[in-house]
Chains A and B, each alone.
Chain A
């Protein structure tokens, strides 16, 4: 008995941000990421029949997306040019030059930091998914997209005090969820 069903109409609202954050760290290009997400949704739609219902919708879409990302790199590699330019700063002739570039970057993040942030990003979006849909959307607009209170109120036709109540509840739920899954 399948425990999960597919609802393609809700995919964009529910999963596009998650898939985007998953993709952007892997392809590092906004447009490519968007294309891959679009392709993933279309591929999901096409192979809808193969969905057994064992995994959640999101896990299933991520599995498709992974294949798409691999395909993207395969395609890119097959088109690779012959000429490659190697830049070597520690050339003997240039000794002493480019000292600035050898100084430690104060904004440098270690690979570990970056990895941790990637995971945190996905954990945040997973927690958002557990919230009420409307609350999650409002929380996202306010906290992640930094929209003005007024703009959100107009969009959802609510009063500022309504908004703050929603934000308060969402923050509480998010803190609980992240404490359980992350912190």
Chain B
């Protein structure tokens, strides 16, 4: 099962990305750990990727919902028509 991930950086990067969204299985994460144990580049990438996740979580950045944006656009468009 996906054992080739141990030697395949592309596959490892994919699992690393999914792990940031809690979408990687325990097995995949174990394989990723084994991969990063041998692969310096992926080890670095994994650390950076995790740091990005942490920064975004910590910042508590918020977005306006699609509906609110739609309302804003509508109002702006109305004004532009005048």
Q: Which residues in A have some Cβ–Cβ distance to B below 8 Å?
A: 8-9, 11-13, 16-17, 20-21, 24, 34, 37-38, 41-42, 45, 117, 120-121, 124-125, 140, 142-145, 149, 164, 167-168, 171, 174-175, 178-179, 182-183
Contact among B20, B68, B71 for A171, CB-based, below 8 A: B20
Q: Is the CB of B72 within 8 A of A183?
A: no
B49 to chain A, nearest CB (A): 6
Interface of B is mostly: helix
| Contact flag A124-B56 (CB < 8 Å), given A45-B79, A171-B17 | yes
Q: Is the CB of A16 within 8 A of B23?
A: no
A15 to chain B, nearest CB (A): 10
Residue B1 at the chain A interface, CB threshold 8 Å: no
B35 to chain A, nearest CB (A): 16
Contacting residues, chain B, for A37 (C-beta < 8 A): 72
Q: Is the CB of B17 within 8 A of A168?
A: yes
Interface of A is mostly: helix
Q: Is the CB of A21 within 8 A of B62?
A: yes
| Contact flag A38-B69 (CB < 8 Å), given A45-B80, A120-B58, A125-B61 | no
Contacting residues, chain A, for B60 (C-beta < 8 A): 117, 121
Complex Cα gap A178–B49 (Å): 11
B8 to chain A, nearest CB (A): 14
Q: Is the CB of A144 within 8 A of B56?
A: yes
Query: Nearest CB to that of B13 among chain A residues?
Result: A168
Complex Cα gap A16–B66 (Å): 11
Contacting residues, chain B, for A38 (C-beta < 8 A): 71-72, 75
Contacting residues, chain B, for A8 (C-beta < 8 A): 76, 80
Q: Is the CB of B17 within 8 A of A121?
A: no
A57 to chain B, nearest CB (A): 14
Q: Could you give 23 example pairs across A and B, Cβ below 8 Å?
A: A8-B76, A12-B69, A12-B72, A12-B76, A16-B69, A20-B63, A20-B64, A34-B68, A38-B72, A42-B76, A117-B58, A120-B61, A121-B61, A144-B61, A144-B62, A164-B14, A168-B14, A171-B49, A174-B52, A175-B49, A178-B52, A179-B48, A183-B55
